[in-house]
């Protein structure tokens, strides 16, 4: 417990000591000058705080040496006195400092003031720290002088040709001034500074290395290239030197300034695609060593460029029932465009022009949704698929392609008896991040003329289907069955308009192939079942040449007929032929007019 009280007492004494120390300051001695033969004049400022009862200002003098010894020469008992004439012989070189003596529960002497002398030495040049543009004006910073006699600073500007100070800043430790009268948007501002010494006409020298703000402005711009060139003056005389000029931009969609480039040059180029857009730029001057920087003026303006027709889009590519291709194009109603044309290709590159539309004349109003172009330039969508895109040409004769879309080409063939295999390429459309495209389903439609008689919905990834039970094999005429495919898709364009659309393929028609079915075996045993080896023809041409011949294993012909209704009964020259394998040959003409030749083997079973 005794140690605890000792600790409390010590801490209390420390607090009292620190409080006394903070309130017992020396006078601010700022001037020691000759006042005549054997006379030295002192000027000082009253301390800002006292800890108790003032006793005196004690003046210590060393005659001839700054290192001393210093002798108490005078004590000033008037607390408000701020000058005195000292009678000191041999005043060629006199060094002086002062202390404050008070009764703060005991006699307390302050720390010494700065030591001043009566030399005619001028304060050194005051070095700048930096100048920088702020929303309130130009911020000027410098490194305070260590010269004891300095009482403040005089600041000069190129605004008045450095002829008279624009500001007087009191206090040797001052290091900042805000020039609210400076307009950083009309050009660079340059500053000089000098130390202010109240007790002598010999003031500090004016800055030999002035600092300046950085002013950025438009150097030139091109409406057609949608490009601005900026330039700015260099920042001069920084103590650490320049590391980089960092160029920033800010558009309406930006939450803050965005870095464009970092350079040692004093020029920069900026592409800006949007006309009449609020654009701001600025420069940050980054000094060597990192951390510190100076900021230029912020230059804001509305862009003046030719609006690029980048929002034009390809809405639909679809095949019509007459096997022409319909193209739907959504023009950019904002861009400054004068002409468009369509291009076609068999691949996703190597496009060639197929049509044109010139709006150099007047179109009022401009199309709000889309325009239609029919590809009648030798397009054969029934034979192949095509890639399409549009080219928009602006008033500067620059070309802007839309993304492409691919038409649907449908093919079909009979793969086995009474079944058709249909296949098609997927409907494709390329977009950007500002657009949306999605196929949600395909529909396979059976057609009779221009009418849909049957429709099957398929998934969005199905591009092949086998359609069964298509033909009636019991009729003599070849039936033609036609199909068409539709893709259902969603498209959102650049401005957010969403479309639910259908696009169609060509119509493909499939005819069954003439066929011949010959039994693998027959049994001519009189039971009236499978008694003859006879071809069964599907879709033969009536009254066309016909030939059916049978040979035994030694190549001897055992049967021949030109009658489509007849078949071999297993006999040759009146004798029943033995169980064996026999070779047959068949020639007939299908209903499609194509001659068919078939060969095979069948077994005679007794």
Burial class, 395, CB count within 10 angstroms (exposed 0-12 / middle 13-18 / buried 19+): middle
Could you identify the residue written with the tokens 């016909």? 546
Q: Please check whether residues 421 and 446 belong to one and the same domain.
A: yes
Q: Please check whether residues 201 and 230 belong to one and the same domain.
A: no
Q: Please check whether residues 253 and 284 belong to one and the same domain.
A: yes
Q: Which parts of the chain sit beneath pLDDT 50?
A: 1-2, 4-17, 361-365
Is pTM beyond 0.85? Reply is no
Residue that terminates a domain, selected from 397, 420, 447: 397
Residue that terminates a domain, selected from 212, 229, 244: 212
Q: Please check whether residues 35 and 103 belong to one and the same domain.
A: yes
Q: Please check whether residues 504 and 446 belong to one and the same domain.
A: yes
How many structural domains does the chain have? Answer: 6
Residue 393 belongs to a domain with what CATH number? 2.60.40
Q: Which pLDDT score is estimated for 89?
A: 83
Q: Which pLDDT score is estimated for 384?
A: 95
Q: How far apart are CA 356 and CA 413, in angstroms?
A: 38
Taking CA atoms, 90 is separated from 67, 200, 202, in Å, by 17, 20, 22
Q: Please check whether residues 537 and 552 belong to one and the same domain.
A: yes
Residue that terminates a domain, selected from 397, 431, 446: 397
Q: Please check whether residues 224 and 290 belong to one and the same domain.
A: yes
Note down the domain range covering 422: 410-510
Q: How far apart are CA 182 and CA 194, in angstroms?
A: 19
Residue 308 lies in a domain: no
Residue 559 belongs to a domain with what CATH number? 2.60.40.1220
Residue 458 lies in a domain: yes
Beta pairing class for 216-222 and 176-179: unpaired
Q: How far apart are CA 28 and CA 173, in angstroms?
A: 12
Q: Please check whether residues 180 and 100 belong to one and the same domain.
A: no
Residue 403 lies in a domain: no
Cα of 326 vs its chain's centroid, Å: 35
Cα of 133 vs its chain's centroid, Å: 29
| Sign of the CA dihedral with 456 first, then 457, 459, and 462 last | positive
Q: Which pLDDT score is estimated for 334?
A: 82
Q: How far apart are CA 493 and CA 514, in angstroms?
A: 50
Q: Which pLDDT score is estimated for 542?
A: 85
Burial class, 383, CB count within 10 angstroms (exposed 0-12 / middle 13-18 / buried 19+): exposed
Q: Please check whether residues 178 and 221 belong to one and the same domain.
A: no
Residue 173 belongs to a domain with what CATH number? 2.60.40.10
**Each residue's pLDDT tens digit, 427-441:** 999 987 778 999 999
Q: Please check whether residues 336 and 371 belong to one and the same domain.
A: yes
Residue 352 lies in a domain: yes
Q: Please check whether residues 556 and 596 belong to one and the same domain.
A: yes
Residue 402 lies in a domain: no
76 closest CA partner among 50, 53, 46, 56: 56
Q: How far apart are CA 317 and CA 407, in angstroms?
A: 6
Q: Please check whether residues 201 and 220 belong to one and the same domain.
A: no
Residue 422 lies in a domain: yes
Q: Which pLDDT score is estimated for 349?
A: 87
Residue 44 lies in a domain: yes
Residue 421 lies in a domain: yes
Q: Which pLDDT score is estimated for 590?
A: 86
């Amino acid at each position: 417990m005794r140690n605890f009280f000792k600790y409390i007492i010590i801490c209390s004494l420390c607090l009292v000591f620190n409080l006394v120390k903070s309130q017992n300051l020396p006078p601010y001695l700022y001037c020691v000058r000759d006042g005549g033969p054997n006379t030295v004049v002192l000027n000082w400022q009253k301390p800002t705080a006292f800890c108790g009862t003032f006793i005196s200002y004690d003046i210590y003098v060393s005659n001839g040496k700054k290192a001393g010894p210093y002798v108490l020469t005078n004590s000033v008992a008037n607390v408000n006195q701020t000058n005195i004439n000292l009678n000191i012989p041999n005043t060629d070189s006199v060094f002086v400092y002062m202390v404050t003596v008070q009764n703060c529960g005991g006699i307390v002497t302050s720390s010494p003031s700065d030591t001043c002398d009566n030399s005619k030495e001028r304060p050194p040049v005051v070095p700048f720290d930096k100048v920088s543009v702020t929303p309130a004006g130009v911020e000027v910073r410098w490194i305070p002088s260590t010269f004891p006699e300095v009482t403040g600073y005089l600041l000069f500007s190129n605004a008045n040709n450095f002829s008279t100070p624009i500001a007087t800043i009191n206090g040797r430790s001052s290091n900042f001034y805000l020039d609210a009268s400076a307009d950083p948007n009309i050009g660079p501002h340059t500053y000089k500074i000098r130390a202010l010494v109240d007790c002598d006409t010999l003031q500090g020298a004016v800055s030999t290395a002035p600092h300046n703000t950085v002013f950025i402005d438009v150097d030139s711009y091109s409406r057609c290239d949608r490009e601005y060139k900026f330039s700015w003056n260099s920042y001069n005389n920084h103590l650490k030197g320049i590391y980089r000029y960092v160029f920033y931009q800010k558009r309406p969609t930006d939450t803050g300034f965005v870095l464009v480039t970092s350079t040692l040059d004093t020029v920069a180029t900026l592409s800006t695609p949007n006309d009449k857009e609020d654009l701001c730029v600025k420069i940050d001057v980054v000094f060597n060593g990192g951390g510190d920087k100076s900021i230029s003026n912020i230059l804001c303006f509305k862009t003046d460029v030719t609006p690029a027709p980048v929002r034009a889009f390809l809405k639909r590519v679809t095949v019509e029932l007459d096997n022409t291709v319909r193209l739907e194009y959504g023009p950019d109603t904002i861009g400054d465009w004068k002409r468009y044309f369509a291009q076609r290709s068999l691949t996703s590159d190597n496009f060639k022009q197929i049509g044109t539309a010139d709006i150099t004349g007047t179109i009022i109003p401009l199309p709000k949704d889309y325009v239609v172009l029919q590809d009648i330039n030798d397009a054969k969508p029934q034979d192949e698929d095509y890639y399409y895109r549009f080219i928009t040409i602006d008033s500067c004769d620059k070309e802007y392609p839309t993304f492409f879309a691919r038409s649907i080409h449908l093919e079909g063939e009979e793969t086995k008896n009474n079944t058709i295999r249909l296949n098609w390429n997927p409907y494709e459309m390329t977009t950007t991040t500002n657009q949306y495209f999605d196929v949600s389903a395909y529909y396979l439609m059976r057609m009779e003329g221009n009418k849909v008689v049957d429709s099957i919905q398929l998934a969005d990834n199905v591009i092949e289907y086998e359609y069964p039970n298509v033909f009636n094999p019991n009729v003599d005429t070849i039936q033609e069955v036609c199909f068409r495919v539709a893709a259902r898709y969603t498209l959102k364009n650049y401005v957010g308009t969403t479309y639910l659309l259908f696009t169609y393929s060509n119509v493909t028609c499939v005819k069954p192939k003439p066929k011949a079915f010959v039994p693998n075996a027959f049994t001519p045993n009189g039971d009236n079942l499978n008694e003859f080896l006879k071809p069964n023809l599907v879709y033969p041409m009536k009254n066309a040449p016909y030939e059916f011949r049978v040979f035994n294993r030694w190549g001897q012909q055992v049967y021949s007929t030109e009658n489509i209704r007849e078949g071999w009964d297993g006999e040759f020259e009146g004798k029943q032929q033995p169980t064996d394998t026999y070779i047959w040959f068949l020639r007939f003409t299908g209903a499609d007019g194509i001659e068919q030749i078939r060969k095979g083997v069948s077994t005679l079973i007794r």
